[in-house]
């Protein structure tokens, strides 16, 4: 794997750059490739998991594949490189479920800090690229009050380009109802898989928990990325703050000094409540801040993947 593409400004790996710097690098496909290349290089090991003894099929060779699994007979017949895939490598179907509601389009520092949706889309693209490079099938569903876009799970390089294209076109709009999208996805899944929810979780908690538990009940692994803007963790340094709900257009003017400590405590309590409610059901929960590199979130995925193996 060449490292010429994994180093960005100042010689730093792209996966270690803050999102504000990443947003200046180019389009989604370029940024996702840079993040993934740097992240995988930083692991100091192959991104591919082990192969079982049960042969399944062949697929075209991709950069980074283990040369031990090239089918040399096929090379002799076709003058093309193919890699043997085995049952363990092909048994995962992953679905990326992306919240595109109006609140996801918010940034506490527009023009400098990317929106939550920008972060969610690039995180999903990076996860999708890692999965496809591992030989897995990846699909996508985007939702606000309802599911607005859906990509059937497939593998291969064309699927990666299709996912990136569809993700890049998503824009924030409408309210949020994760329950319907998650249950619709559960009904459509014909075999057990991995469902990744990327959302700011400004949703009906009980309905969303019910839908997530429904997925687990049907045997799916579930990973939740809770996307948070730094402005949601801490009130601004001002005497007054105006709270605005972009989905309902409600506003509330408050004194910052009077509620700063209570606000911070309420946010932490809300995050802990999500973690406490999801853990007993085997649902992985990871908070990701939009001003932090994506490495933390990608490592959370790998921890989930190791348990799947």
Q: Is 55 exposed, middle or buried (0-12, 13-18, 19+ CB in 10 A)?
A: exposed
Residue 89's alpha-carbon distances to 47, 73, 81, 83, 197, in angstroms, are 12, 21, 18, 11, 23
Question: Does domain 92-308 bear CATH number 3.40.50.720?
Answer: no
- Could you tell me which of 182, 175, 171 has the C-alpha nearest to residue 145? 175
pTM attached to this predicted model: 0.78
pLDDT in tens, 213-265: 999 988 899 999 999 999 898 776 665 666 666 667 777 666 666 677 788 88
Q: Find where tokens 């800090």 sit.
A: 113
pLDDT in tens, 77-97: 788 887 776 544 445 889 999
pLDDT in tens, 163-189: 999 999 999 998 888 888 888 888 888
> How large is the angle between the packed helices 157-168 and 116-133, nearest 10 degrees?
170
Higher pLDDT, 306 or 203: 203
User: How crowded is residue 13: how many other Cβ atoms within 10 Å of its Cβ?
Assistant: 19
């Amino acid at each position: 794997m060449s490292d010429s593409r994994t180093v960005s400004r100042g010689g730093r790996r792209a996966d270690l750059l803050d999102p504000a710097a990443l947003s200046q690098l180019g389009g989604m496909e370029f940024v996702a490739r840079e993040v993934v290349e740097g992240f995988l290089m930083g692991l100091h090991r192959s991104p591919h998991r082990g192969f079982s003894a049960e042969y399944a099929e062949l697929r075209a060779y991709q950069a980074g594949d283990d040369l031990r699994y090239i089918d040399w007979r096929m090379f002799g017949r076709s003058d093309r490189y193919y890699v043997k895939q085995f049952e363990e490598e092909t048994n995962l179907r992953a679905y990326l479920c992306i919240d595109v509601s109006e609140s996801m389009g918010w940034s506490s520092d527009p023009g400098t800090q990317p929106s939550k949706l920008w972060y969610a889309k690039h995180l999903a693209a990076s996860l999708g690229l890692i999965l496809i490079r591992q030989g897995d099938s990846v699909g996508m569903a985007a939702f606000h009050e309802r599911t607005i876009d859906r990509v059937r799970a497939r593998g291969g390089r064309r699927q990666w380009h299709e996912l990136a294209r569809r993700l890049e076109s998503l824009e924030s709009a409408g309210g949020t109802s994760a329950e319907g999208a998650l249950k619709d996805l559960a009904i459509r899944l014909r075999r057990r898989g991995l469902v990744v929810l990327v959302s700011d979780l400004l949703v009906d908690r009980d309905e969303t928990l019910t839908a997530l538990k429904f997925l687990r009940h049907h045997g799916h692994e579930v990973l939740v990325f809770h996307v948070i803007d730094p402005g949601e963790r801490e009130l601004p340094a001002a005497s007054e703050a105006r709270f605005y709900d972009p989905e309902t257009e409600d506003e509330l003017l408050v004194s910052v000094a009077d509620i700063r400590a209570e606000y911070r405590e309420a946010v932490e309590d809300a995050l802990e409540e999500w973690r406490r409610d999801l853990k007993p059901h085997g649902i992985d929960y990871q908070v990701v801040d939009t001003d932090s590199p994506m490495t933390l979130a990608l490592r959370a995925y790998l921890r989930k993947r190791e348990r799947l193996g």
